Structure 1
Amino acid sequence: MRVVLILRLQRLIAPPFTPAWAVVLNSAFLIAVAVGGVAFARYLFYYRSTIVLYAPFLFQATVTTFLIALVSLVLAVILGAIATWARLHSAKLLRLASTLYIEFVRGTPTLVQLLVWGFGIGGLLGHLGVDPRQIAFDIMTVLHSNRLVSPLFNFIFYGILGLGFNYGAYLSEVFRSGIEGIPQGQTEASLSLGLSPRQTMGRIILPQAILIMLPPFTNNFITLIQDCALLTVIGVPELQNMTSTFANPITDPQRKLFIYILGALFYFALCYPLSRLLRYCERRFSHSGIS
């Protein structure tokens, strides 16, 4: 114990030795970052008129992208929770159905799934006389006025279903790994103390499992926002769709490239602060859970 305290005091009094080559390398890296930042700022200033022209529309598309991702996440959490419950159930049929769903989604490209949802399932349900899109449209339409609903709601609806269906499988694995990461002895101990299986899951297992689930859950949410760009193939007016709409008619390759860079900056402006916020929530929740 005394040795540990002495070592800690030495680290506080005398900073650790840094080799000369590391100091030079760090300085060169900082200089390169500064030069790159100045060059990129001049690059943005050169195309300032393009930014003023297109930024408001890209901002609206960014809001649309975030809302689509948020609703898709809610659907994915619901489907993931159901799939996790079925995967951990004692009934073999439920476990088989959950396994088939998860393996099918993870074994096929997301882009193909979105195309099937956008152009296949919608048409099939229409032929069968079942139109969930129309039901959702009627619910969202206030006083039979369509002003609050996008005219492209059909594509948005099936795009949300496609993303929710896809990410529900991945979140199911996140939930399952979090629950199974808790030692089995805790379940046995709580049951021996007289708690019911539901109380054991709600009071003992889930509070600890959430700490394991949070990092992969937040990563999946960030990836979900970025995967909204795939919805451009079915005509959803999200950020990538709007960026391509503005860039494609431009003949100047440098200006066209800048439009795509501007769209990427809006993605970064949405994802980076959100990722930092989620990381902060992870730390706060982890500390509160440990305490």
Structure 2
Amino acid sequence: MEEYVFNVLAGAKLTLQVAGGSLVVAVVLGLLGATAKLSTNKPLNWLAALYSTIIRGIPELVWMLLLFYGGQMLLNKVLESVGYNDYVEINPLFAGIVTIGFIYGAYMTETFRGAIMAIPKGQSEAGYAFGMSRSRVFFRIVVPQMIRLALPSFTNNWLVLIKATALVSVIGLTDMTMLAKQASAATRSLTPLAPMLFYLLVAAIYLAITTVSLIVLKQLDKRYSMGVRKGEF
């Protein structure tokens, strides 16, 4: 029984890898999406709006299955059409990170777009008046304020993203959810409470991760809110 408990705990490392990698992908896509939505370029506006609307309107599980299995089939069809006949399998860890990051990039797009729009335009104009370049204005004036304004929504997205990592078990990744399922099946004969015990352990680990995340993000919020009066989130 103890061996299975340690296996589930070890699976938490993979869960954190998926969550961290997905967050990086989501933030990059979110920044690109927000920039596109705020751009004066109409095609970019249209593509960004299409991305955020379609992604947020379809369940994460459907996207996970569609992009993993459908993407794998499409990739092999394309390779076959150019004369490559060996079957290519997409790495489940890579697929899980990219899929979850792709999904939550749509949510981050709206988070960053709203935060940037909340910053008075006069501040950027003042930077230009002082002779600052567009990139300098963005990183010295816009980004620090955007972080403060985006943090409440970013925190919510991050917490939901962490919980969504449980979906990677459906594509064969042995995260702690998959390991808990295997452990409960292997120990069911020892005690009928095995499934509940292992899944409670998984729930406790997720709760611990989200609790630590909230503490860290609240400290980050305090740092970027120095001198600004605002409510807690």
Equivalent-residue separation in structure 2 for 1:189 and 1:285 (angstroms): 21
Q: Is the partner of 2:158 in helix, strand or coil?
A: helix
Flag the structure with larger Rg.
1
Match of 1:84 in 2: 34
Match of 1:99 in 2: 49
Q: Report Cα offsets for 1:13-37 as digits up to 9, x if no partner.
A: xxxxxxxxxxxxxxxxxxxxxxxxx
Match of 2:84 in 1: none
The question of whether the paired residues in 1 share the 8 Å contact of 2:92 and 2:173 is answered with yes
The question of whether the paired residues in 2 share the 8 Å contact of 1:71 and 1:160 is answered with yes
Equivalent-residue separation in structure 1 for 2:223 and 2:90 (angstroms): 38
Q: Report Cα offsets for 1:132-161 as digits up to 9, x if no partner.
A: xxxxxxxxxxxxxxxxxxxx9711111111
Q: Is the partner of 2:225 in helix, strand or coil?
A: helix
TM-score norm. by structure 1 comes to: 0.70
Match of 1:128 in 2: 78
Structure 1 stretches of at least 4 aligned residues deviating more than 6 Å after TM superposition = none
Counterpart of 1:269 (choices 208, 214, 217) is: 208
The question of whether the paired residues in 2 share the 8 Å contact of 1:117 and 1:159 is answered with no
Superposition map of 1:200-211 within 5 A: 200-211=137-148
Counterpart of 1:279 (choices 218, 221, 225) is: 218
Q: Using the aligned pairs only, state the percent identity.
A: 34
- Aligned Cα RMSD in Å? 2.1
Q: 5+ unaligned residues in a row in structure 1: which ranges? A: 1-49, 131-151
Counterpart of 1:115 (choices 65, 69, 72) is: 65
Equivalent-residue separation in structure 2 for 1:115 and 1:206 (angstroms): 35
Equivalent-residue separation in structure 2 for 1:220 and 1:270 (angstroms): 14
Equivalent-residue separation in structure 2 for 1:288 and 1:237 (angstroms): 46
Q: 5+ unaligned residues in a row in structure 2: which ranges? A: 81-88
Counterpart of 1:165 (choices 84, 88, 102) is: 102
TM-score norm. by structure 2 comes to: 0.86
The question of whether the paired residues in 2 share the 8 Å contact of 1:117 and 1:161 is answered with no
- Greater relative contact order (Cα 8 A, min sep 6): structure 1 or 2? 2
Q: Offset at 1:280?
A: 1.8
